[in-house]
């Protein structure tokens, strides 16, 4: 076969490949598009139904229950509820006005207005709210404490709506709620935050140690304008991280283990201030837990 024949054969082969590629693309693309549409529809449904849980299980005072099986006020649920409102507004599930009124109702139910002696509010201690409370009275439910982490989750929602509704009454009330939390008090003379306080027994002996959701409380405490904790508290907390070993495909990894070995840890904040110092990785931990 001469050079010309070889060149023509190659051209014919490439032409056939182009034609096949065209038909293959035409065949595959609709199915990929259908898969994308199905995924988008699934995510839209999941997000909407998640929002509806908070929307439908929040009472007239703006309190969201812990679960349908246990209808009791939960400050963490309120934090997630507040965060869901801007999302719902942006997704056009509710109007801006309805979202605004719902947020303001919840914030006012937590805020003790000093100018209104008859004001209803959830009781607090040094700005920390009870993990669970009686919705009818706003009083502490004795089964748990005035919780540092649950107050942090509530404040995360408070700060979210403060940012979303600037120059409004929401911004004013949200700022008051956040600035009243006395994080220094929750240190209870130590370097790390206590997990909580009870009126009958005082501070809990448990402190936030190890890599866990406590990071949210530490970050909010460091950023507090009036009651911030020392910068050293961050190092004190991260020094309680526990390295662990993991082997995959005959390769050994050292990583920081979640103290609760729970996926819940990764639903909140994620920051790796000690990774370089300890030559560790969080991402192996993520794949395990």
CA–CA dist 70, 74 (Å, integer): 10
Residues 6+ apart with CB under 8 A from 199: 125, 140, 146
> Does the pLDDT of residue 122 top 90, yes or no?
yes
Q: Do 149 and 214 contact (CB within 8 A), yes or no?
A: yes
Average of per-residue pLDDT across 194-208 = 97
> 124-170 pLDDT, tens per residue?
999 999 999 999 999 999 999 999 999 999 999 999 999 999 999 99
Element (H, E) at 197: strand 196-198
Residues 174 and 159: beta-carbon distance below 8 Å: yes
The whole-model pTM stands at 0.80
- Interval 55-102: pLDDT, tens: 999 999 999 987 777 778 999 999 999 999 999 999 999 999 999 999
């Amino acid at each position: 076969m001469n050079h010309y024949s070889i060149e023509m054969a190659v051209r014919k082969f490439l032409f056939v490949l182009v034609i096949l590629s065209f038909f293959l693309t035409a065949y595959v693309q609709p199915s990929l598009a259908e898969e994308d549409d199905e995924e988008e529809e699934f995510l839209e449904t999941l997000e909407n139904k998640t929002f509806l849980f908070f929307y439908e299980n929040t009472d007239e005072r703006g309190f969201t229950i812990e679960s349908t099986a246990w209808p009791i006020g939960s400050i963490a649920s309120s934090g997630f509820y507040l965060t869901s409102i801007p999302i719902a507004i942006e997704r056009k599930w509710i109007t801006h006005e309805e979202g605004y009124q719902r947020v303001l109702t919840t914030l006012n139910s937590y805020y003790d207005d000093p100018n209104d002696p008859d004001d209803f509010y959830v009781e607090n201690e040094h700005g920390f709210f009870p993990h669970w409370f009686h919705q009818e009275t706003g009083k502490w439910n004795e089964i748990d404490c005035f919780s540092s982490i649950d107050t942090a989750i509530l404040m995360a929602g408070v700060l979210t709506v403060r940012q979303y509704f600037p120059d409004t009454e929401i911004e004013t009330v949200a700022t008051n709620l956040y600035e009243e939390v006395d994080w220094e008090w929750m240190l209870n003379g130590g370097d790390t935050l206590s997990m909580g306080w009870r009126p009958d027994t005082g501070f809990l002996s448990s402190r936030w140690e190890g890599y866990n959701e406590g990071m949210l409380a530490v970050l909010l405490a460091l950023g507090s304008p009036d009651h911030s904790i020392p910068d050293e508290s961050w190092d004190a907390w991260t020094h309680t991280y526990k390295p662990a070993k993991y082997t995959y495909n005959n390769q050994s990894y050292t990583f920081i283990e979640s103290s609760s070995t729970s996926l819940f840890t990764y639903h909140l904040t994620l920051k790796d201030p000690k990774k370089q110092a300890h030559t560790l990785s969080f991402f192996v931990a993520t794949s395990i837990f």
